Amino acid sequence: MARPSARLTVLSGPSGVGKGTVVAEVRRRHPEVWVSVSVTTRQPRPGEVDGEHYHFVDAEYFDWLVANDGLLEWAEYAGNRYGTPKAPVDEQLTAGAPALLEIELQGARQVRVRAPDAQLVFLAPPSWAALVSRLAGRGTELPEVQSRRLALAQAELDAAGEFDVVVVNDDVARAADELVGLLTAPPPSRRSARNAAERSAPE
Ligand code: ADP
Ligand code: 5GP
């Protein structure tokens, strides 16, 4: 992959749309892509590894991180708290390497305010029916939690227009390709500067 510009990219979208699946596919193809590991107060699902999928922390430690400005953003989602540790993201960007966050809508809005240059990508389902069947098919939540997540998903879908780009997760490989393209795309200012230079270049 061509060396991407150091840019913060946020991938968001409703629970069950396939964010984790698409990010895992990106990492499988491009292990060099750096993905932030969030802290969460949620209990690990079977197979989830502490420090790899999440840093699983207790409520007290989460409070401490918030109080000490240790999180770039954080949100409460379906009864649990989730946040992005700030220092590793800063280190990545300072080193000139891109950073990818996979977070929900309230967090994406906070990043928009705190890091206005960040690229906000919304992962959308091909249809509402596909979203419902993916969330149920994953089988990791009790029906009551699934309904709570679907109610949130409806509001999250309405927010797609706030994002810079919408990627439809119709097919995992195709969506992963599109996301990789976005990660490696120069920021718009540089893109338009280059286009302007190309337009004014003599034939
Ligand atoms: P999220 O991280 O957005 O909550 P997941 O990555 O856990 O969602 O995916 C939810 C379910 O949908 C999983 O069972 C996953 O295998 C399935 N899935 C993801 N992407 C697709 C796709 N493009 N087509 C069909 N099923 C998908
Ligand atoms: P899950 O419990 O399914 O792993 O995650 C629930 C939701 O929290 C998903 O939409 C996921 O993207 C989001 N999430 C994961 N980490 C973070 C984070 O650090 N900050 C925010 N705001 N949301 C997160």
Q: At what angle do helices 128-138 and 143-158 cross, to 10 degrees?
A: 150
Q: Which residue has the higher pLDDT, 62 or 188?
A: 62
Per DSSP bridges, beta strands 80-85 and 8-12 are unpaired
pLDDT category, 194, cuts 50, 70, 90? low
Beta bridge partners of residue 120, listed in sequence order: 10
Which pLDDT belongs to residue 145? 83
* CB contact at 8 A, 42 and 55: no
Q: Whole-number mean pLDDT of the chain?
A: 89
Nearest atom of ligand 2 to the alpha carbon of 38: 19
Q: What is the pLDDT of residues 97-128, one digit of tens each?
A: 889 999 999 999 999 999 999 999 999 999 99
Q: Closest Cα to atom 22, ligand 2: which residue?
A: 107
- What does the alpha-carbon distance between residue 146 and residue 8 come to, in Å, rounded to a whole number? 30
4: tokens are 């991407």
Which pLDDT belongs to residue 199? 52
Residue ranges per domain, the chain? 8-200
The ligand minimizing its distance to the Cα of 22 is: 1
Which pLDDT belongs to residue 139? 76
- What does the alpha-carbon distance between residue 2 and residue 181 come to, in Å, rounded to a whole number? 10
Which pLDDT belongs to residue 109? 96
Residues in contact with ligand 1 by the CB-under-6-Å rule are: 15-21, 134, 137-138, 169, 171-172
Which pLDDT belongs to residue 3? 45
Which pLDDT belongs to residue 198? 53
Single out the residue of 7, 176, 23, 190 nearest to residue 97, CA to CA.
Answer: 7
At 88 the three-state DSSP class reads: helix
pLDDT tops 50 at residue 4:
no
50: tokens are 């502490």
Q: What is the pLDDT of residues 37-50, one digit of tens each?
A: 999 999 999 999 99
Q: How far apart are the first and last CA of the chain?
A: 30
pLDDT tops 70 at residue 12:
yes
Fold of 8-200: Rossmann fold (3.40.50)
The ligand minimizing its distance to the Cα of 39 is: 2
pLDDT tops 70 at residue 190:
no
Which pLDDT belongs to residue 149? 85
pLDDT tops 80 at residue 51:
yes
Q: Say what percent of the chain tops pLDDT 90.
A: 69
Q: Which residue has the higher pLDDT, 71 or 151?
A: 71
Which pLDDT belongs to residue 135? 85
Which pLDDT belongs to residue 144? 83
* Phi/psi at 111 (5° precision): -65, -40
Which pLDDT belongs to residue 114? 94
18 alpha carbon – ligand 1 mean position (Å): 3
Beta bridge partners of residue 115, listed in sequence order: none
Note the pTM of the prediction, 2 decimals. 0.89
